[in-house]
Structure 1
Amino acid sequence: MREPSAGDGARREETWVGSGDHDIELKRASDGAADLVLQRFFDGDGRLLTIPAKQSRQIAMYDLLAQRFVPGVRYTELEVNRELMAVYGDYVSLRRGLVDFGFLDRADGQYWRSGGSVPVGEDPAPVGADAPPGGPAPTAAARAGMRRGSPGATPRTTSPRGVRRREAIVAAASGLIADRGYAAVGMDDIGAAAGVTGPAIYRHFDSKAAVLAEVFERVIDSLLDAVTPHAAEPDGANQTTSVIAPTDAARALAEAIDRYATGVSARRRLIAVFVREVHHLPAEQGERLVTSQRHLIGRWRELLAAAHPDWSVQRVRTAVHGAFGLLNSVGTYESPLTDAELAAELTSLTRAALAV
């Protein structure tokens, strides 16, 4: 797997995916901070030490990370997560940043390069070259498309204004669907609530189902936020925690409960949409959601079993599923509590139920 190197700064000056004003601004900011970012924020093995605070340095960092993905190749979210987990523990923040700054774009559960610098004079190193088994590798057609500069190899870059407009549409859709139900909400309703007039909404989403899919992306992200990097690895649910002391396992599970309770309390309207409208979710989105839930539930079961070695397998399984039912119940009723108050109540009840 190719790691960032000092030579990346020179290659950055050759080719930049995208040519709009936003892309030019990104390139200038990235060029100016690239060397400093490599020296201060990456270790000798190419792992990110911390995310820079300054935006110009963040852009340079995201440009380096974007080079791990080959233009013209589409990746599943799991493949993106695997790649970013090799660089930094908080892969969810990295993935969001790559999308928000226009280095990656996503639709229908797939991600692709949409901005940033590309090595010139050589094929970019396949992301999966030294990656775990199952990592993505570009097809011959994709490589040929990059060399030809085919239109499909460089999808459009999302501008900051486009990101804000997209966020407004998703927020409006979440509220309307939560209030009226999916069937009673039309694209015109969503556009009007988001301040997007006429057919302009179709520049961001081609259908109401696509908007709903994006809403559920946020639900999936909220689940992933509560998963530790260890828990999100593909085989994490099959790993043993027998070496973890019961007190350590109980503390880790208590922290995970607090994070999850905080997440669902702050996103209770999204959770409400999920509970009531999940049957409208496209098949691929549904599979990804199930995969995320499986990782999370598997990790909690491991920790609970380690915290209570005297509990049977069935008791552990029943307790964990019951805990998630309790936590996700925020989507089934209106609570007058603030987010913080609701999170505290959910955390207290769940910890009591799991005895941690």
Structure 2
Amino acid sequence: MATPTRNRRAEILDAAAGLFAARGFHGVSIEDIGAAVGVSGPALYRHFRGKEALLGEILLDISARLREQGAATAALPPAEALSALLSGHIAFAVQHPELIRLHERELHNMPEQDRRQVRRSQRLYVEEWVNVLSDLHPDAPSARLRSAVHAVFGLINSTPRTAGELPPEQMAGLLERMARAALKVSAD
């Protein structure tokens, strides 16, 4: 069972993520975050060093979750692995467009060490996709596959711009069909 401190940390992280996504990192004060969870702003310092630490933990968690999801597909046959990668990333994007928006807008506001860790995790996640695609398209150059993966991430991560226009299940289906089409890469 989670401890009260862990629950409070999660509550603070969720509130901060929502506020940062809605108003931008610089548009949110520590007092705003405290008020969102029913405590004073300074009370947050019992859980986090400051706003930058909050942002760092939020964005590190996003990258870690996706990376773990990708790594979990390594033992699957390539077609199943691709389906798992697509459904996992699409589900995250459809369910959490505010976190995608936050990542796009605020990565540069993270402490440098955290930013490097996020980038490393992202590179490893991309390579999980490239490895699966290499198995499915053995004649395609890795650079082409990597470019296709980045293009698909751009497609899937466009959800903040269209959030609410389609029901989530329709959006997920549309994104999957489009992503699969984009991933049909050839060696030429």
Confirm or deny a common fold (TM above 0.5).
yes
SS for the counterpart of 2:32 is helix
Structure 2 Cα separation of the partners of residues 207 and 268 of structure 1: 24
1:340 is aligned, of 164, 169, 178, to: 169
CA distance in 2, matches of 1:251, 1:229: 11
The CA distance in 1 between the partners of 2:73 and 2:170, in whole Å, is 29
What root-mean-square deviation, in Å, do the aligned CA atoms of Structure 1 and Structure 2 show? 2.3
Using the TM superposition, give the Cα deviation of residue 218 of structure 1 relative to its aligned residue in structure 2, in angstroms.
Answer: 2.6
Cα deviation per residue 1:176-208 (whole Å; 9 max; x = unaligned)? 111111111100011001111252121111211
How far did 1:251 drift? 3.1
Residue 196 of structure 1 is matched in structure 2 by 39
Look up the match of 1:180.
23
Q: Note closer, same or farther for the CA distance 1:313–1:169 as it changes in structure 2 (3 Å cut).
A: closer
1:216-231 equivalence runs, <5 A: 216-229=59-72
Higher RCO (Cα < 8 Å, 6 or more apart): 2
C-alpha separation between the residues in 2 aligned to 1:253 and 1:334?
24
- What does 1:1-356 correspond to in 2, within 5 Å? 101=2, 160-229=3-72, 248-331=77-160, 333-336=161-164, 337-355=166-184
The 4+ residue runs of structure 1 with deviation greater than 4 A are none
Residue type of the alignment partner of 1:174: A
Report the Cα distance in structure 1 between the residues aligned to 2:13 and 2:109, rounded to whole angstroms: 16
1:72 match: none
State the secondary structure of the residue aligned to 2:158.
helix
Alignment CA distance shift 1:269-1:198 (3 Å): closer
| Cα distance in structure 2, aligned partners of 1:184 and 1:340 | 33
CA 1:230–1:253: 2 relative to 1, 3 Å: closer
Asked if 2 retains the 8 angstrom alpha-carbon contact of 1:254 and 1:351, the reply is: no
* AA of the residue aligned to 1:210: A
Q: Decide whether the 8 Å contact of 1:222 with 1:263 is kept in 2.
A: no
Q: Is the 8 A contact 1:222 1:264 kept in 2?
A: no
Mapped to 1, the partners of 2:159 and 2:65 lie a distance apart of 14
Q: Is the 8 A contact 2:33 2:41 kept in 1?
A: no
Aligned-residue sequence identity (percent) comes to 36
User: What is the TM-score of this pair, normalised by structure 2?
Assistant: 0.86
Cα distance in 1 for residues equivalent to 2:93 and 2:117: 18
TM-aligned CA deviation for residue 317 of structure 1: 2.5
Q: Is the 8 A contact 2:70 2:129 kept in 1?
A: no
The answer to whether the Cα contact below 8 Å between 1:226 and 1:263 also exists between their aligned partners in 2 is: no
Cα separation, 2, equivalents of 1:345 and 1:211: 33
Matched to 1:254, the amino acid is: S
Segments of 5+ residues of structure 2 without an aligned counterpart are none
Tell me the CA shift for residue 307 of structure 1. 0.8
Could you tell me which residue of structure 2 aligns to residue 141 of structure 1?
A: none
Higher helix share: 2
Instruction: Work out which of the two has the higher radius of gyration on C-alpha atoms and give 1 or 2.
Output: 1
**1:229 shift after superposition:** 4.0
Distance (Å, rounded) in 1 between the aligned partners of 2:102 and 2:121: 18
The one-letter code of the counterpart of 2:10 is: E
**Alignment-mate amino acid for residue 202 of structure 1:** Y
CA distance in 2, matches of 1:285, 1:223: 16
Equivalent residue of 1:227, what SS?
helix
Deviation string, structure 1 residues 63-119 (Cα, Å, up to 9, x no partner): xxxxxxxxxxxxxxxxxxxxxxxxxxxxxxxxxxxxxx5xxxxxxxxxxxxxxxxxx
State how far apart, in whole Å, the 1-side matches of 2:91 and 2:41 are.
Answer: 37
- CA deviation profile, 1:142-195 (whole Å, cap 9, x unmatched): xxxxxxxxxxxxxxxxxx211121111111111111111111110001100111
Q: Return the TM-score normalized by structure 1.
A: 0.48
> Secondary structure of the equivalent of 2:70?
coil
